[in-house]
């Protein structure tokens, strides 16, 4: 008998795991479908707004920094609260926390659909990010309650990984269609409608479960980590307009560094840390999280800047943008499906390395062919190349993180990987946005000087371009004075040329970073995969064989090396291979390896 056969109310290492009766049959499949809808919505909103930015800029007169916050507000809150939300679900019930998160997500979607200015829209995205952070962790952890059988659960985990990649890929396509049909507000009505459907389904079919092994919430870790991330991101974006040498910007950066150092200090001493930093001593775990960070950093350089460029400079419609991104989305989906079997056969090293190379090459080629008149004939082969690379990377990144640490901490590993992705998105938009804005201003001033625009008017033009009000002001000025029409046209061309230069720099940085990640993957990933990789690819048979091999080895040697737990005479759990750097009996040493029967040892 394996641990998967044990009833939900069991005692593990002196702690009680509480849950409802195991769910089976059609109810399990309906529950999985509901979890996948929630997962799809929360991941979709990372990228779906990228194709609405030009419409938002025109409708709400938002500047570049405000558009960055429309994207970053969601990803930042998502990243900052995700690990803590997972712990809350373990303590108070995963279903309760997920339902509450979906309600908050729907409220944020309603506020976004009714937003009358950019500040209200940014606030809505903050609320949506909070709801997504509460909802997403349960989509993975509740699969164990729905499917106690290891082989069936492996296929469910494969579906989870596929849907997460699908949501990322389909964001620009669905968003482009919705903008074309109605307006940017349709994106938020879409979220509200399907969020309510997911809420009803989750309330009806999902079982409640909790796990009180972790008895305390790491409040200090949550506050310090969220504070450091928020201050660093805000300072990066605010510095674009206020200047990075401004004293209060420097104070924000310094405070963020201090809070980050305090976070590391607190987590190394916490009994139940939000993030066990000792796991980063393992090359695969550290390497996979860094690659996850860089992948989203590079991905959002395409979704944010290419989409904005094609709409603002190229005047591409929502339908046209959806068509431009469709080949990339298709490449991501197909590649993620193929990558599952590839990783299962060869291990994560080669697929992750090849994926990073293809993604980097695709981003650099997109930068090379991108013009205001770009369409399927040019972007139709460069964007799919990047999409294929990103799709390949997604599977081994998740699998490597999960297989590199004990399975009883797989929830923390999955949450950390997702947090790394969201941080990559936040940092990519913030850092590359700052780069674009800086190059835009410098290049625009140079071009305006060459046109003979007086110095006293240059600052007004720069302010209008960066604030997103230039088109309206230029049109009004041309109507009032036809003699200014030629000058307005020349200034407009200068502003779009300056913006193009900034986009070139951002894509170049993102592409080179992905190529560097290929080198990192080659030196940090295993050549062969462990059981979790097969689980994510849907192959339960190899998982079982690996577990049988582990049991056999455990019987041959005592004490046995490796990250496995055994039961002592007093019923407590001990570890033969604690996490490097851990001393004493901490909370991470009190749970059994989920799919291995330790009671016979």
Predicted pLDDT of residue 99: 94
State how far the alpha carbon of 288 is from the alpha carbons of 280, 389, 524, in Å.
10, 15, 8
Predicted pLDDT of residue 480: 64
Measured between alpha carbons, how far is 446 from 440 in angstroms, rounded to an integer?
10
User: Residues 474, 491: contact at Cβ < 8 Å?
Assistant: yes
At residue 11, φ and ψ (nearest 5 deg) are -105, 125
**Per-position DSSP letters for 392-433, written without gaps between them:** HHHHHHHHHHHHTS-GGGHHHHHHHHHHHHHHHHHHHHHHHH
510 closest CA partner among 210, 323, 339, 296: 296
Measured between alpha carbons, how far is 484 from 474 in angstroms, rounded to an integer?
9
Give the helix, strand, coil percentages of the chain, each rounded to 5. 80, 5, 20
Using alpha carbons only, what angle is made at residue 363 by residues 358 and 366, rounded to the nearest 5 degrees? 120
- Which residues, listed in sequence order, are joined to residue 566 by a DSSP beta bridge? 574
**Residue 223's CB: how many other CB atoms inside 10 A?**
16
**Per-position DSSP letters for 342-375, written without gaps between them:** HHHHH-SHHHHHHHHHHHHHHHHHHHHH--TT--
Measured between alpha carbons, how far is 466 from 108 in angstroms, rounded to an integer?
27
The verdict on pTM exceeding 0.75 is no
Predicted pLDDT of residue 485: 64
Predicted pLDDT of residue 118: 92
Report residues of the chain scoring pLDDT below 70.
Answer: 1-24, 150-151, 154, 158, 210-216, 241, 407-412, 466-488, 527-601
CB-facing half-sphere around the CA of 156: CA atoms within 13 A: 25
In sequence order, which residues have a C-beta less than 8 Å from that of residue 452 and are 6 or more positions away?
Answer: none
**Residue 568's CB: how many other CB atoms inside 10 A?**
9
Predicted pLDDT of residue 581: 37
Predicted pLDDT of residue 189: 97
- Which residues, listed in sequence order, are joined to residue 573 by a DSSP beta bridge? 567
Query: Which CATH class name applies to 16-217?
Result: mainly alpha
Q: Which CATH architecture has domain 282-549?
A: Up-down Bundle (1.20)
Measured between alpha carbons, how far is 436 from 498 in angstroms, rounded to an integer?
9
Measured between alpha carbons, how far is 298 from 371 in angstroms, rounded to an integer?
19
- Which residues, listed in sequence order, are joined to residue 16 by a DSSP beta bridge? 11
């Amino acid at each position: 008998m394996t641990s998967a056969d044990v009833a939900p109310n069991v005692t593990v290492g002196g702690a009680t795991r509480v849950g409802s009766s195991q769910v089976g049959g059609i109810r399990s499949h309906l529950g999985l479908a509901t979890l996948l809808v929630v997962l799809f919505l929360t991941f979709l909103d990372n990228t779906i707004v990228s194709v609405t930015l030009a419409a938002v800029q025109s409708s709400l007169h938002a500047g570049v920094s405000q558009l960055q916050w429309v994207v970053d507000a969601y990803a930042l809150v998502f990243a900052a609260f995700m690990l803590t939300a997972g712990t809350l679900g373990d303590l108070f019930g995963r279903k309760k926390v997920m339902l509450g998160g979906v309600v908050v997500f729907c409220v944020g979607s309603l506020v976004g659909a009714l937003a009358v200015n950019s500040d209200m829209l940014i606030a809505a995205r903050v609320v949506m990010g909070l709801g997504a952070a509460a909802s997403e962790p349960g989509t993975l952890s509740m699969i164990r309650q729905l499917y106690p059988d290891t082989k069936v659960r492996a296929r469910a985990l494969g579906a989870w990984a596929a849907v997460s990649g699908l949501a990322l890929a389909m964001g620009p396509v669905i968003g482009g269609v919705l903008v074309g049909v109605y307006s940017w507000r349709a994106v938020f009505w879409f979220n509200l409608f399907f969020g309510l459907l997911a809420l009803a389904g989750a309330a009806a079919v999902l079982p409640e479960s909790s796990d009180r092994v972790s008895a305390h919430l790491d409040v200090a870790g949550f506050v310090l980590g969220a504070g450091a991330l928020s201050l660093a991101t805000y300072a990066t974006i605010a510095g674009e307009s206020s200047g990075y040498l401004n004293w209060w910007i420097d104070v924000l950066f310094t405070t963020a560094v201090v809070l980050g150092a305090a976070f590391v200090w607190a987590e190394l001493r916490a009994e139940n840390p939000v993030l066990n930093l000792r796991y980063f001593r393992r090359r695969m775990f550290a390497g996979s999280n860094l690659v996850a960070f860089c992948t989203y950093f590079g991905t959002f350089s395409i979704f944010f800047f290419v989409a904005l460029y094609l709409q603002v400079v190229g005047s591409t419609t929502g339908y046209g943008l959806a068509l431009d991104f469709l080949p990339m989305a298709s490449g991501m989906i197909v590649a993620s499906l193929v990558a599952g079997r590839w990783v299962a056969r060869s291990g994560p090293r080669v697929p992750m390395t090849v994926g990073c190379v293809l993604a980097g090459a695709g981003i650099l080629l997109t930068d090379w062919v991108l013009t205001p008149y770009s369409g399927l004939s040019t972007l139709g082969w460069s964007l799919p190349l990047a999409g294929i690379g990103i799709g390949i990377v997604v599977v081994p990144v998740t699998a490597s993180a999960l297989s590199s640490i004990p399975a009883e901490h797989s929830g923390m590993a999955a949450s950390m990987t997702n947090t790394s992705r969201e941080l990559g998105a936040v940092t990519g938009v913030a850092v590359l946005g700052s780069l674009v804005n800086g190059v835009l201003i410098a290049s625009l001033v140079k071009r305006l000087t060459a046109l003979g625009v007086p110095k006293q008017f240059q600052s007004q033009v720069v302010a209008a371009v960066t604030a997103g009000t230039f088109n309206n002001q230029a049109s009004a000025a041309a109507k009032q004075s036809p003699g200014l029409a030629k000058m307005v046209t020349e200034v407009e061309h200068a502003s779009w040329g300056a913006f193009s230069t900034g986009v070139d720099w951002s894509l170049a940085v993102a592409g080179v970073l992905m190529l560097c990640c290929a080198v990192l993957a080659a030196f940090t990933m295993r050549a062969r995969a462990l059981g979790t990789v097969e689980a994510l690819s849907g192959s339960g048979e190899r998982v079982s064989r690996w577990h049988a091999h582990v049991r056999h080895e455990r019987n041959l040697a005592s004490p046995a090396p490796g990250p496995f737990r055994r039961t002592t005479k007093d019923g407590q759990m001990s570890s033969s291979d604690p996490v490097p750097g851990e001393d004493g009996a901490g909370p991470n040493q009190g749970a059994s390896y989920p799919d291995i029967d330790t009671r016979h040892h």
